Chain A
Amino acid sequence: MESQIELEYEDIKGHADTKMVRFVGDLDATNVETVLEKICNLFNDGFINIIADFKKLRYVNSTGLGILLHFSKSAKEKNGSFKIANVNENVYEIIEIIGATTLLEIYDEVDEAIAALK
């Protein structure tokens, strides 16, 4: 049985190659493969920009953070981006400890992430 995580998708008006994904729940070793598959499917479907809304992401561990870095790398390879918004302070601390704050594109709000799209 996996930890509970739901991914909710939303289109961004005026950005056909962008998808907003709301992460709801915990991202950990039990569900990274599922999340990996779903996000990679978006890349394969031509969505080269992903905006991840973490407002309802309660928890992330090192394995979860590993796939976030992987998404960032994959997006860059496709000349796109993987942007994160609304990170809670506990999750941010884990990202910070791993030293990934400079590697991931992190925004306070989703609107800021959208405004930063090329």
Chain B
Amino acid sequence: MPDLKIQRKPLDLRPDLTMWKIEGPLDAESIGYIHREFDSVLESKQNFLVAEMSGVTQVSSAAIGQLMGCRQLLVERGGDLVITGVSLDIKSKLSAMGATKIFKFYNELRTAVNAYHWEVERKSEMVWMSFPPELQFVPPVRQMVSRIARQKGYTNRDSFRIETIVDEVCNNAVEHGSERLKKNIDLNIKIDREKIELEVINASDPDKIDALRALSTSMPKTPDAKLGQKRGRGLALIKMLSNKLDINFSGDGTSVHVTKLREE
């Protein structure tokens, strides 16, 4: 059986990041080799390592334990060791060893690099949407934002709250804003590990601006639960679910900016 081979090289997508191309058996005999190669990674001050394992033919718990130790050191330095390209057979063996609970696995190098942007550089991601001012477009929009939040690691509860916030803000934009004017509603989303920021911009009827301004300033701190009242709780609900809510009125439009911190 050929020996393990670790080839260290910069990532094409981000040359400042390091990739290990690992081929052959990751067995107990490879521990010393992994250790030496990892020392050279540390010496070069790299704290994010992508292990490309499509060529790995065998895994042992001793070698995986060694990789876990390497990862722990990188995590302590604010980085990570992530795995890409692993075959289904090897992944099921890693799963049996509990490694899938420790390492992050990515199908492609590109997604591993995106993870670096997100996890290590703490960069935010932006999504822009524009949709016609009709209620029927709001459910798919709110559900998509909720899915984005879930996919980014926000809890189900947080994602549900975000879905509710998007729903309420967009419904208000349709109801109080653009329906008559037939101008699209813009939704800008900025999401990072700590928070999601939503901005909803809609055209408003100039005749309604003063009434809307008065409505927003008289907004109750908590929603009104009176039995007979069917509407009028949306803004107060947004306020309760979010951490910051700003409403700005200009001559021809309204913009609502909501910040929701991520719960751990």
Contact = CB atoms under 8 A, between A and B. Distances in A.
A73 B139 contact: no
Interface stretch (A7-15, A48-56, A64-72, A110-118): A64-72
B139 A66 contact: no
A116 to B, nearest CB: 19
B227 A61 contact: no
Q: Indicate the size class of the contact surface on chain A.
A: 20 to 34
A30 interface: yes
B135 to A, nearest CB: 5
Interface residues of B, number: 29
B215 to A, nearest CB: 15
- Majority secondary structure, A binding face: helix
B222 interface: yes
A62 B233 contact: yes
A29 B168 CA distance: 9
Interface in A18-35: 26, 28-30, 32
A62 B234 contact: yes
Interface stretch (B88-96, B98-106, B157-165, B188-196): B157-165
Interface in A83-111: 89-90, 93-94, 97-100, 103
Contacts of B223: 62, 97-99
Contact of B168 (A2, A3, A61, A69): A61
Given A63-B231, A103-B227, A97 B241 contact: yes
A26 B241 CA distance: 19
Given A2-B136, A73-B228, A99 B222 contact: yes
Contacts of B171: 28-29, 61, 63
Contacts of A73: 227-228
Contacts of B164: 59, 61, 94
A97 B227 contact: no
Contacts of B22: none
B149 to A, nearest CB: 13
Contacts of B45: none
Interface of A: 1-3, 26, 28-30, 32, 59, 61-63, 65-67, 69-70, 72-73, 76, 89-90, 93-94, 97-100, 103
